[in-house]
């Protein structure tokens, strides 16, 4: 399990941190972002790498749980 707090970071930093966790074969990955742009970019990366994304919004923060899909 990996936890990443990317609040306050501008793109592409949240994507880079997430990609590093994916490349290290981490699952699940919890990532916290505070911008719609970061959310969309991390979600796109996760989907392209075969991860399922669950999202929970709290105020301006968005917590994402990335879990590797079976067989990918």
Query: What is the DSSP track for 30-69?
Result: EEEE-SHHHHHHHHHHHHHTTEEEEEEEETTEEEEEEEEP
pLDDT at 27: 87
40 band by pLDDT with thresholds 50, 70 and 90: very high
Question: What pLDDT sits at residue 72?
Answer: 47
pLDDT tens-place string over residues 47-60: 999 999 999 999 99
Separation between Cα atoms, residue 72 and residue 62, nearest integer Å: 25
Tell me how far apart the 2 most distant CA atoms of the chain are, in Å. 35
pLDDT, tens only, 23-37: 998 789 999 999 999
Q: 1: which 2 tokens? A: 């399990």
Write down the mean pLDDT value for the chain: 94
- Please provide the CATH number assigned to the domain covering 2-68: 3.30.110.40
- pLDDT cut 90: percent of the chain above it: 89
Structure tokens at 19: 């990609």
Q: 32 and 5 in contact (C-beta within 8 Å)?
A: yes
Per the structure block, which two tokens stand in for 59?
């105020």
């Amino acid at each position: 399990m990996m936890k990443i707090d990317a609040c306050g970071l501008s793109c592409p930093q949240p994507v880079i941190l997430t990609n590093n966790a994916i490349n290290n074969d981490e699952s699940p990955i919890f990532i916290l972002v505070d911008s719609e742009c970061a959310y969309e970019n991390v979600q796109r990366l996760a989907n392209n790498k075969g991860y399922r994304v669950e999202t929970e919004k709290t105020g301006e923060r968005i917590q994402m749980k990335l879990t590797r899909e079976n067989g990918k």
